[in-house]
Amino acid sequence: MRSPAPVWVALTLFGCTPSPDDGIQIGSLRVDPPPAPPTDFKSLDLASALADAFEIAGVATLATAWAGHTDAMGRGVVGCPDLWIGAPPQDIADINVGDDQVPGLSWADSCQTPAADTFDGFAYWESAIQLTGAEPTGGARSLTMDAQVAAGDGSVLLEFDGEASDSLEGSAYSSSLVARSLSGSLVGFGSGLRGELDVSWSGDEMELFGSIHTNDGFGPPDDRDPDPEDTPELQNLPSWEPGMPRFTSVRFDLQLGGDCALEPQGYVGVRGNEGFWFDVYFLPLYDPEEESAQSNAFPYEAIDNLDCDGIGTIFVRNLDLRAADEGDPEWSREVSIDFAGILASMPTPTLDEFVFTLADLPRETP
């Protein structure tokens, strides 16, 4: 253990944008005539795709990166990686993190253990537990990292380039993640993801805002015919391959709770591999009558069902699919989502997982 300052550490206790016309979603294509939707839009199982989207949201939290980091640190030995109280010296890792009064812990190294596990990069973390009397009732933690930890066989256990923080009070969990890269076998999501996502959930409430891109994609294999005459949306897409996952990214602006327990306000979207967003809108998140950029960005004037029933309305790149719905009795632009089941499935860490101090760091000498 090396320290550039006196060694002391304790577990902290802490008691004028113009409004788009006709509900044109911000960021959507604004062309006339509008593009045709993907040729397979009626055969897609959007309910299943949205279930995948919420599973991704459950992974894109500090809890995932924290668990991967603590597990990976269990492979370390004294001297690999090098550890510090507070941030590493600036000549080793030039980062601006931490509080001189209550420093966190860090490592920075490029080394290999006797078991051939490798540490390359740096990580800085803080954790704190809130006490009510002698009873722990809440926790908060943060992690700043640009590093990769790999096992002796070469498999990447954790790679995280980003910053994240989270907190837990009772059953109420919240996390804020900025990930330029989050991957590895301990993350458990293919070759990883990137993006920014703020989330919170508890027994009967949930709020999600942000977007995540998955490196490997998700959803069913894409079985569209690549003939440009049959699938014009696939023209000029050299990266598209038959059988690749149908979707690549997710985005949220969603709040569940309050007067309606069955259905949230806002929307969730999944991005097709050809670039079209499939957005499902639920109850109005902004007042449709307020005539603001936010309210006009949500196409609620084109939605028939605004009841509290868990049913959302599908748009493709903000294209109104009412005509397609009315012209096909076997297809509907509405989709029903079990939000109670989704909320119950969202992973919540325990307070025990919030503590990672000197006592948990490697003590074995190689």
- Cα–Cα distance measured from residue 300 to residue 283, given in angstroms and rounded to the nearest whole number: 8
Q: Mind listing the pLDDT tens digit for each residue in 301-351?
A: 778 888 999 999 999 877 888 889 999 999 999 999 999 999 999 999 998
Cα–Cα distance measured from residue 147 to residue 361, given in angstroms and rounded to the nearest whole number: 17
pLDDT in tens, 50-68: 999 999 999 999 999 999 9
User: Using the 8-state DSSP alphabet, how is residue 232 labeled?
Assistant: G
Res 359 pLDDT > 80: no
- For residue 130, give the DSSP letter: E
Model confidence at 101, in pLDDT bands (50, 70, 90)? low
Which pLDDT score is estimated for 133?
82
Please tell me the predicted confidence (pLDDT) of residue 327.
92
Which is nearest to 277 in space by CA: 14, 18, 44? 44
Instruction: Please check the confidence at residue 30 and state whether its pLDDT lies above 60.
Output: no
pLDDT given for residue 185 in this prediction: 86
Residues 65, 180: Cα–Cα separation, whole Å? 13
Residue 248 makes CB contacts below 8 A (sequence gap 6+) with 213, 214, 217, 218, 271, 272, 273
Between 160 and 322, name the one with better pLDDT: 160
Distance from C-alpha of 95 to C-alpha of 109, rounded to nearest angstrom:
14
Q: Please, where are the H alpha helices in 162-309? A: 293-296
Q: Tell me whether residue 290 is exposed, middle or buried, using C-beta atoms within 10 angstroms of its C-beta: 0 to 12, 13 to 18, 19 or more.
A: exposed
Residue 7 has pLDDT above 80, yes or no: no
Average the pLDDT over 245-270 and give the result: 94
Q: How many CA atoms within 13 Å lie on the side-chain side of 41?
A: 27
Q: pTM score, two decimals?
A: 0.86
The mean pLDDT value for 200-207 works out to 94
Conformation bin of residue 170: beta by default, left when phi > 0, alpha when psi is -120 to 50: left
